Amino acid sequence: MSKLGLLRTSIRSTLAARTSLSQTHRLLASLLRDPPRRFSTAAEQPPQNSAPGQPPSLDATVDQIVRNPNTGAAVYGKLVGITRNTLRTDVVNLLEGCNLTLEDVKVHYNGPFIPTGMLVQFPSQREFENAVRVLRGRGLAQVFRLQRLDRHLWDDIPHYDGKTVLIEGIPRTALQEDVERFLSGTPYEGSSIKIFMKQGSIRMATVQFPSQIQAKNAYITKNKGFILNDQVLMRVLQ
């Protein structure tokens, strides 16, 4: 058998293994921690050499990989349809086979820091298209929608990485010294405290910690504590 034939056989075996039923059940169980909200999906353009509404054949995918082993620059997308409890690890597991790591996923928060989607950095256009096929092939295209995103939008979103804690409900009269006093005993980074207003009346602050474990420990020990006479709530930002 020629080297090209061996390459085709190897790729075909790998792609077939990734679509096994047992893997699908495991990924869905991990991702759907809460019942997902339903989203309408925009019509998608079918890949070349495939019928509308149908995923490309295995042979067509293999041929594309063999012909184009180098895939070019990174491509960015936003995965819409997540729940408030969806984790970055859930997204990496859902899109397994797209060569993603946790560093390739950011949570997109709105003004009150409610997650509205996951921003995903794909290594190439091929991996982005593969992610679309994965969602469609697993029957999730009506639950999750993957939108193309410009690079500058990815760059503008902070990467909290589980090391930043959000403090909500800070009294209007509280000073930064009061927040620092509240955080005493935790290894927070002093220069990282940022106090701001959201929705016109909710006063919040973000503070960074050297590690995810330290941020989580601060949440456990300080959540529902008091700044001045007001109880505050804390959340760890992904």
pLDDT digits (tens, 9 = 90+) for 60-71: 544 444 444 444
Q: What pLDDT, on a 0 to 100 scale, did the predictor assign at position 112?
A: 86
Backbone angles phi, psi at 24, to 5 degrees: -60, -45
Segment 30-39, tens digit of pLDDT: 554 554 444 3
By mean pLDDT, which of 60-74, 157-171, 186-200 is the weakest? 60-74
Same domain, 107 and 223: no
Integer CA distances (angstroms), 113 to 12, 16, 30, 145, 225, in order: 43, 40, 23, 21, 20
**DSSP 3-state assignment of 119?**
strand
Same domain, 152 and 66: yes
Bridge partners, 78 (sequence order): 119, 147
Q: Is residue 181 part of a domain?
A: yes
Mean pLDDT value of segment 210-225? 98
Which residue segment(s) compose the domain that 208 sits in? Answer: 164-237
pTM exceeding the 0.85 threshold for the entire prediction: no
How far apart CA 65 and CA 7 sit, in angstroms, is 10
Is the pLDDT score of 181 beyond 80? yes
DSSP states along 205-229: EEEE-SSHHHHHHHHHHHTT-EETT
Same domain, 145 and 214: no
| Amino acid identity, position 193 | I
- Residue 198's pLDDT band, with cuts at 50, 70 and 90, is confident
Residue finishing a domain among 131, 156, 181 = 156
Same domain, 104 and 173: no
Residue finishing a domain among 138, 156, 174 = 156
Same domain, 111 and 149: yes
Q: Specify the number of domains making up the chain.
A: 2
Same domain, 152 and 177: no
How far apart CA 205 and CA 213 sit, in angstroms, is 19
Same domain, 24 and 112: yes
49 or 224: whose pLDDT is higher? 224
- Residue 47's pLDDT band, with cuts at 50, 70 and 90, is very low
Buried b (16+ CB within 10 A) or exposed e, 1-12: eeeeeeebeebe
Q: Is residue 194 part of a domain?
A: yes
DSSP code of residue 174? -
Residue finishing a domain among 122, 156, 190 = 156
Domain with residue 23: its CATH number is: 3.30.70.330
